[in-house]
Amino acid sequence: MGDIKDLSDHQNFTYSDAAGDDLYNDIMKLIDQYASQGAISATDAVGILEWAKTTLIIMNTTFIED
């Protein structure tokens, strides 16, 4: 990722699942939109993605109570 100069430069992501590609590209477009408006920084974007990832993991985890 050292070659990426800003968020909009990452156009080479490919994956065999079209829905996954679409979701990735939509997320990147939103990040680029908010970053270009100055609403979020790259650090904010990473934190937001980590928060979303953690939320998805928790929402889709079945906890077994003893």
pLDDT at 54: 94
pLDDT at 41: 94
Q: What is the pLDDT of residues 5-47, one digit of tens each?
A: 555 556 665 556 788 888 889 999 999 999 999 999 999 999 9
Q: Which amino acid is at 22?
A: D
Banded model confidence at residue 62, pLDDT cuts 50, 70, 90: confident
pLDDT at 5: 58
